[in-house]
Amino acid sequence: MLNIHILGTGAIGSLWGSYFATDTNDQNYSLTFISRSIQENQYRYHLAPEDRWIQGRCINAQRQSKAESIRYLIVTCKAYDALQAMEQIQDLLMEPCHIVLLQNGMGSQQAITKAYPQHAIYACSSTEGAYKSDVHHLIHAGKGQNLLGPMNTIAKQIGQPTWIPDNTYQYTHDINTALWRKLIINCAINPLTALYQCRNGQLIEHEPYHQHLKRICAELQPLISHQQLDIDDAYDLARHVCEITAQNQSSMLQDKLNNKRSELAYITGFAIRSLEESGLTNEENNRLYHALKQQSLKD
């Protein structure tokens, strides 16, 4: 029996819970969610459209017993919460703990990897779409892909995490490129859709927005060569994602509309710092960052 801990009971934590609960191979799992919001010691929710009920133990992040020990951990908190949430449970981690990080943007994965060199750390870049309609209902809205790879030497030595059902992810030795690819997509689409309060597809349909998208991508392009990433063209990448997610409201637009904290600092903020550190201009992204701050987007 493998004991899996999932930090966070939002949409992504619940979706990952379902990967283990619905695994059909001969691996047996026990599932424990670590939550700040759920007070009960069980977390039970319905998964649609698969129409399944999932259940796991639930412990409180602030009040866990020292007897709890964690060998396998999936971290699903938002980028701005992840490092602090890890600090709250660090005394429970066995050595080495196998940890998968599922944050958007970049910066939080690197900070956690630096803070916990004794553990095997992997990051995952995901295009899965899921949201919770209420505490006990999870909607798996879009079947996407999870690309997962090692962040540090211990994880590289261990290799593919065989404790995760293998039909739920693809393994890559180059997670850095996967994270950068997603970062470029999010840098191009998320802040602009939040600024103009439009769906993803409108960024290529409405010419003034389209021109702005092109300027943001043109500024990101030199970063790709500077970081020696195997990514062809920032604009082609962003345009393609605008086409296939045309009807989506980006996560940043949703955060803005719901007056929630956004991941702007880990998306555009990270790109601005990387451009600066590489001696490249970051004027366009900087202007966009400040325009969003002026519209009171929280980051």
Query: Which of 223/241 has CB closer to ligand KPL?
Result: 241
Q: Does 241 bind ligand KPL (CB under 6 A)?
A: yes
Q: Binding ligand KPL by CB under 6 A: which of 9, 103, 251, 285?
A: 251
Query: Which of 89/241 has CB closer to ligand KPL?
Result: 241
Q: Binding ligand KPL by CB under 6 A: which of 245, 262, 282, 285?
A: 245
Query: Which of 218/244 has CB closer to ligand KPL?
Result: 244
Least distance from C-beta 109 to ligand KPL, angstroms?
A: 16
Least distance from C-beta 248 to ligand KPL, angstroms?
A: 4
Q: In angstroms, rounded to a whole number, what is the distance separating the alpha carbons of residues 68 and 78?
A: 23
Q: Around Cβ 204, how many Cβ atoms within 10 Å? A: 18
Q: Does 248 bind ligand KPL (CB under 6 A)?
A: yes
Q: In angstroms, rounded to a whole number, what is the distance separating the alpha carbons of residues 290 and 281?
A: 16
Q: Does 262 bind ligand KPL (CB under 6 A)?
A: no
Query: Which of 54/138 has CB closer to ligand KPL?
Result: 138
Least distance from C-beta 256 to ligand KPL, angstroms?
A: 12
Catalogue the E-assigned strands of 79-235: 93-101, 120-126, 129-134, 137-142, 146-150, 170-171
Which range, of 70-78, 209-217, 247-255, 278-286, touches ligand KPL by CB under 6 A?
247-255
The 179-218 contact track toward ligand KPL, x by CB under 6 A, reads ------xx--xx---------x------------------
What phi and psi, each to the nearest 5 degrees, are found at residue 113? -60, -40
**Count of residues of this chain found to bind ligand KPL when the rule CB under 6 A is applied:** 10
How does strand 129-134 pair with strand 137-142? antiparallel
Residue type, 207: E
Contacts of 40 (CB under 8 A, 6+ apart): 58
| 47 DSSP β-pair partners | 52, 138
Can you give the three-state secondary structure of 205-229, one letter per residue?
HCHHHHHHHHHHHHHHHHHHHHCCC
Q: Does 14 bind ligand KPL (CB under 6 A)?
A: no
Least distance from C-beta 241 to ligand KPL, angstroms?
A: 5
Half-sphere exposure of 61 (CA within 13 A, CB side): 19
Q: In angstroms, rounded to a whole number, what is the distance separating the alpha carbons of residues 97 and 219?
A: 39
Q: Binding ligand KPL by CB under 6 A: which of 9, 146, 152, 250?
A: 250
Interacting residues with ligand KPL (CB under 6 A): 185-186, 189-190, 200, 241, 245, 248, 250-251
